[in-house]
Amino acid sequence: MLIDTGWPNFNGRDAERIARAAKAAKIKQIDYVLITHYHRDHVGGVTQLAERMKIVTFVDHGPNLEDSDAAREDYAAYEKVVAKARRIMVRAGDGIPIKGLTVRVLTAAGEHIADPLPGAGEANMYCDSEPDAPPDPSENARSLGVLITYGKFRFIDLGD
């Protein structure tokens, strides 16, 4: 599983780095590409990467709702690539079916899991009096965040 594809600029630098690393590891295709959100530094390299390697499945939080030219352009380019592959749109609390891993979706499309993760600490009393953050209409706030578990190893990626 690859999380995000990087920038489209720099003559395909990010896509080329990913493709070279995959080749060095003798990986011929990417089974899952998880896109945290549709900002250029996260999804911009998808077209260039798809030109270099087969991508079987894309995982994302669903449609882009950010109203900016860049976000609309990047999402349109993403949709063209995704149309040639399998797409899974996930919600907070979902699992992603990857053999050998446990992948739990913690945040997606502006929503988050309702209950703390097992073993989570207590609420921070110093945060109780802080007001909630104002609403954020950007893709950053809609980031797809996951907890990946492989044996005793745990990795969390929350996008932006």
**What average pLDDT does range 12-18 have in this prediction?**
96
Q: Please give the Cα distance from 140 to 126 (Å, whole number).
A: 25
Summarised one tens digit per residue, pLDDT across range 21-45 is 999 999 999 999 999 999 999 999 9
CATH code (residue 61):
3.60.15.10
Its domain, for residue 113, covers 2-157
Looking up tokens 């990795």 gives: 155
Beta strands in 52-159 (DSSP E): 54-60, 86-89, 95-96, 102-108, 111-112, 145-150, 153-157
Q: Is 90 left (phi over 0), alpha (psi -120 to 50) or beta?
A: beta
Q: CB 89: neighbour CB atoms within 10 A?
A: 14
| The pLDDT value given to residue 116 | 85
**Single pTM value for the model:** 0.92
Task: Answer whether residue 62 shows pLDDT above 90.
Answer: yes
Residue-wise pLDDT tens digits, 106-153: 999 999 999 888 878 777 888 888 898 898 989 999 999 999 999 999
**Total count of domains within the chain:** 1
pLDDT band at 48; cut points 50, 70, 90: very high
